[in-house]
C-alpha cells in the first residue's frame, strides 16, 4: 500500500513546505504551519481541451455584446452605497469583522428585506442550528416566508440544496465552517477555504446567484486564511466598530463593480442594525466648543464627504523620549507633522508628548486631513482654541506647503449644509468650481498662513 504524502501549509499566507518549520518564510509568523495530507487523486493534463465544443473560445473585445444587468437594491441605502448601488447578479461578496460585531445580524436583516421582495433567499449557517437562527430572527422581527434556513457544513449537500431550491440569493455563515470531502484537511484550513470558495464562485458565476460569504478575522484584524481568498471574490467588506459602542462602519476595501473605500454607518439597536443617513451630525454632536486642540475636517470616504472632529493633546514630557500616539490616524504621520511644525513654524515640540484622536471611532487614511491635525497640535500646544465654525482641509508637505486635494467642492458643500462658516483649504483648489453663498473659502499656501487664519487671532 502506497504511503500517503503530507505537507505543511501556513494557515495565514498559504505557504507550503515539505517539513515543519517554526517560522513561516512567507509571512514570518510563528507556529502557523499545519500538517495536511496530499490528495491521492491526480488529474491527467492530457484531458484538458479535448472537447472543443464545450471549451470557450476567444472573442474580439469589440464584438462582445455588453449587457448592463440591473442591480438588486435592499431597503438599506447605506448597504447599497457600499456595494456601489446595489447587489450585482452572480457576484461573490466577502464580509469580515470581529466576533460579535454584527455580521450575522446584518446579513439576516438583508436576507429578510430581499425575501420580502418575493426573492427566495437561502441562509446557510454552519455555526448555529436552525432554532438558534430562528431565535435571532424573532428578536430582529424577521418574518419573511421566502427566507429559507439551512444548518449544513458539507459543500456537496449545500450545492444540492441550491440546485433544488434555486434561490435568488445565498448567504454562507461562515466559510471557515464549510468543508469539501475530497480535501483531507480540517474545516477552516487553507486548502478547505480555497477549494470551497472556488466551488462557490463557480456556482455564483454559472447560475447568476449572488453569494455572500462571512469570513472570520485574525487578531490583527485581517481576513483569516490565505490572501488568495480576497483575490477570488468580487467585493470585500469589513464590518468595523467597537462592541462597547453602538455605531458600526461597513467599509468596502475591494469592489469590482463600484468605488472602493466606500463607507456605510449603522447603529446597533436591540431590534437590529439601523442605518445612519447623516453620519457627519453623529460624529460632531458631542463636540466641545471653545476647547483647545479640536478641529473639524471634511474627509472623503469613497464618494461621500464626512465631517469628523480631530482632537490633539500636547503636554510636556517627563521622559527623555516623548510619546507620539494616534487613534484612527496613521501613527507614523504624527512625528512627521510635528517635525514640519518645528522646522517651518518654529515651535519647540521635541520635549512634548502628542496624542491624536479621531473622534467617533472612524479611521481616516487620506492625506487631506494633514492640515487639520497640524492645526490641532498647534491649538493644543498654545492653548488657543480654533473657531467652532471653521473647517481645515489640505495635505501638508515637508517644506510646509499646503497641497491641493480632490473633490473640494463636495467637501465644502457638506460643510455648508451643516452650518459651518469658513473653510481653510489649499489655494490651488479655489479655481474651477462654484463656491456656495453661505460659506467663506480661504485659500492658503503654507501651514503658517493657515495658523494665522485659524489659530493666531
Q: Over 50: is that where the pLDDT of 41 sits?
A: no
Q: Looking at 245, 276, 307, which one is the last position of a domain?
A: 276
Q: Are 233 and 94 in contact (CB under 8 A)?
A: yes
Say yes or no: 226 and 241 in one domain: yes
pLDDT digits (tens, 9 = 90+) for 217-250: 766 656 655 566 888 899 999 888 766 667 888 9
Say yes or no: 400 and 347 in one domain: yes
Say yes or no: 418 and 438 in one domain: yes
Q: Are 423 and 391 in contact (CB under 8 A)?
A: yes
Which band of pLDDT confidence, cut at 50, 70 and 90, is reported for residue 368? very high
Distance CA 251, CA 106 (A): 13
Distance CA 220, CA 241 (A): 14
Residue 211 falls inside a structural domain: yes
Residue 114 falls inside a structural domain: yes
Task: Output the pLDDT for position 286.
Answer: 82
Q: Over 50: is that where the pLDDT of 49 sits?
A: no
Q: Are 453 and 443 in contact (CB under 8 A)?
A: no
Q: What share of the chain is helix, strand, coil (3-state, %, to 5)?
A: 30, 25, 45
Please give the annotated binding residues, written as ranges.
Answer: 97-104
Which residue in this structure is represented by grid cell 457544513? 153
Which residues fall within 8 angstroms of residue 162, CB to CB, at 6 or more apart? 122, 170, 203, 207, 209
Which band of pLDDT confidence, cut at 50, 70 and 90, is reported for residue 48? very low
Domain of residue 401: give its range.
282-454
The CA-CA-CA angle for residues 400, 406, 408, to 5°, reads: 95
Q: Looking at 244, 261, 276, which one is the last position of a domain?
A: 276
Looking at the structure of the chain, the number of domains it has is: 3
Q: What is the per-residue DSSP string for 29-55?
A: -BS-EEEEEPPS----GGGTT--TTTS
Which residues fall within 8 angstroms of residue 423, CB to CB, at 6 or more apart? 298, 390, 391, 393, 411, 412, 415, 439, 440, 441, 442
Q: Are 325 and 331 in contact (CB under 8 A)?
A: yes
Shortest CA distance to 119 belongs to which of 210, 207, 203? 210
Please give the annotated binding residues for ATP, written as ranges.
Answer: 97-104
More confident residue, 183 or 427: 427
Q: What is the DSSP letter of 436?
A: P
Task: Output the pLDDT for position 442.
Answer: 94
Q: Is the dihedral of CA 286, 287, 293, 295 positive or negative?
A: positive
Residue 52 falls inside a structural domain: no
For 292, other C-beta atoms within 10 Å of its C-beta total 19
Say yes or no: 190 and 102 in one domain: yes
More confident residue, 385 or 49: 385
Q: What is the per-residue DSSP string for 60-95?
A: -TTTSPP--PPPBP-S-HHHHHHTTSSBPTT-EEEE
Residue 157 falls inside a structural domain: yes
Q: Are 134 and 142 in contact (CB under 8 A)?
A: no
pLDDT, mean of residues 24-52: 64
Q: Looking at 253, 276, 299, which one is the last position of a domain?
A: 276
pLDDT digits (tens, 9 = 90+) for 122-153: 999 998 999 999 999 999 999 899 999 999 99
Say yes or no: 292 and 436 in one domain: yes
What CATH number corresponds to the domain at position 247?
3.40.50.300
Residue 154 falls inside a structural domain: yes
Task: Output the pLDDT for position 110.
Answer: 95
Q: How many CA atoms lie within 13 A of 241 on its CB side?
A: 21
**What percentage of the chain reaches a pLDDT higher than 90?**
53
Shortest CA distance to 152 belongs to which of 183, 129, 169, 135? 129
Q: What is the per-residue DSSP string for 264-296?
A: EEEEEETTEEEE-S-HHHHHHTTPPTT-TTEEE
For 187, other C-beta atoms within 10 Å of its C-beta total 18
Q: Are 77 and 277 in contact (CB under 8 A)?
A: yes
Residue 66 falls inside a structural domain: no
Say yes or no: 322 and 248 in one domain: no
Say yes or no: 161 and 296 in one domain: no
Q: Regarding beta strands 294-301 and 272-275, do their DSSP bridges make them parallel or antiparallel, or are they unpaired? A: unpaired
pLDDT digits (tens, 9 = 90+) for 332-344: 999 999 999 999 9
Which cell goes with 126?
454552519
Say yes or no: 145 and 185 in one domain: yes
* Average per-residue pLDDT for the chain: 87
* Size of the chain in residues: 457
Say yes or no: 142 and 92 in one domain: yes
Which cell goes with 51?
472537447
Say yes or no: 243 and 363 in one domain: no
Residue 53 falls inside a structural domain: no
Residue 58 falls inside a structural domain: no
Q: Over 80: is that where the pLDDT of 45 sits?
A: no
Helix (H) or strand (E) holding 396: strand 395-396
Which band of pLDDT confidence, cut at 50, 70 and 90, is reported for residue 43? very low
Say yes or no: 326 and 251 in one domain: no
Q: Over 60: is that where the pLDDT of 42 sits?
A: no
Which residue in this structure is represented by grid cell 451630525? 281
**What percentage of the chain reaches a pLDDT higher than 70?**
91
What CATH number corresponds to the domain at position 393?
3.30.230.10
Which residues fall within 8 angstroms of residue 277, CB to CB, at 6 or more apart? 77, 78
pLDDT digits (tens, 9 = 90+) for 301-318: 877 899 999 999 999 988
Which cell goes with 36?
495536511
Say yes or no: 18 and 150 in one domain: no
Amino acid at each position: 500500500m502506497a504511503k500517503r504524502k503530507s505537507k505543511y501549509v501556513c494557515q495565514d499566507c498559504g505557504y507550503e513546505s515539505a517539513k515543519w518549520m517554526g517560522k513561516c518564510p512567507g509571512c514570518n509568523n510563528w507556529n502557523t504551519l499545519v500538517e495536511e495530507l496530499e490528495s491521492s487523486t491526480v488529474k491527467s493534463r492530457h484531458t484538458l481541451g479535448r472537447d472543443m465544443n464545450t471549451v470557450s473560445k476567444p472573442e474580439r473585445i469589440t464584438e462582445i455584446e455588453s449587457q448592463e444587468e440591473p442591480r438588486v437594491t435592499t431597503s438599506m441605502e447605506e448597504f447599497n452605497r457600499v456595494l456601489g448601488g446595489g447587489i450585482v447578479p452572480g457576484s461573490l461578496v466577502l464580509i469580515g469583522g470581529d466576533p460579535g460585531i454584527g455580521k450575522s445580524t446584518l446579513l439576516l436583516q438583508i436576507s429578510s428585506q430581499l425575501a420580502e421582495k418575493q426573492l427566495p433567499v437561502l441562509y446557510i449557517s454552519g455555526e448555529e442550528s436552525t432554532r438558534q437562527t430562528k431565535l435571532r430572527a424573532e428578536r430582529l422581527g424577521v418574518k419573511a416566508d421566502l427566507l429559507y434556513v439551512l444548518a449544513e457544513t458539507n459543500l456537496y449537500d449545500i450545492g444540492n440544496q441550491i440546485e433544488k431550491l434555486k434561490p435568488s440569493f445565498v448567504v454562507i455563515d461562515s466559510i471557515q465552517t464549510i468543508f469539501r470531502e475530497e480535501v483531507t484537511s480540517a474545516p477552516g484550513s487553507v486548502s478547505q477555504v480555497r477549494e470551497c470558495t472556488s466551488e462557490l464562485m463557480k456556482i455564483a458565476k454559472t447560475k447568476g446567484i449572488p453569494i455572500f460569504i462571512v469570513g472570520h478575522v485574525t487578531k490583527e484584524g485581517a481576513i483569516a486564511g490565505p490572501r488568495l481568498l480576497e483575490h477570488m471574490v468580487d467585493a470585500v467588506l469589513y464590518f468595523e466598530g467597537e462592541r462597547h459602542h453602538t455605531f458600526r462602519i461597513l467599509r468596502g476595501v475591494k469592489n469590482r463593480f463600484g468605488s472602493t473605500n466606500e463607507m456605510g454607518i449603522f447603529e446597533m439597536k436591540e431590534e437590529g442594525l439601523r442605518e445612519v443617513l447623516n453620519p457627519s451630525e453623529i460624529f460632531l454632536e458631542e463636540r466641545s466648543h471653545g476647547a483647545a486642540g479640536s478641529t473639524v475636517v471634511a474627509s472623503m470616504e469613497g464618494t461621500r464627504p464626512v465631517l469628523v472632529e480631530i482632537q490633539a493633546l500636547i503636554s510636556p514630557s517627563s521622559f527623555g523620549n516623548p510619546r507620539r500616539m494616534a487613534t484612527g490616524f496613521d501613527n507614523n504621520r504624527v512625528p512627521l507633522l510635528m517635525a514640519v511644525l518645528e522646522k517651518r513654524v518654529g515651535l519647540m515640540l521635541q520635549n512634548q508628548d502628542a496624542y491624536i484622536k479621531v473622534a467617533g471611532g472612524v479611521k481616516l487614511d487620506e492625506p487631506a486631513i494633514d492640515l487639520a491635525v497640524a492645526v490641532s497640535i498647534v491649538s493644543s500646544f498654545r492653548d488657543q482654541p480654533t473657531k467652532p465654525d471653521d473647517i481645515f482641509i489640505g495635505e501638508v508637505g515637508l517644506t510646509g506647503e499646503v497641497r491641493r486635494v480632490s473633490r473640494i467642492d463636495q467637501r465644502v458643500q457638506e460643510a455648508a449644509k451643516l452650518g459651518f462658516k469658513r473653510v481653510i483649504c489649499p489655494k490651488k483648489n479655489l479655481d474651477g468650481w462654484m463656491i456656495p453663498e453661505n460659506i467663506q473659502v480661504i485659500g492658503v499656501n503654507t501651514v503658517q498662513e493657515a495658523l494665522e487664519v485659524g489659530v493666531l487671532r
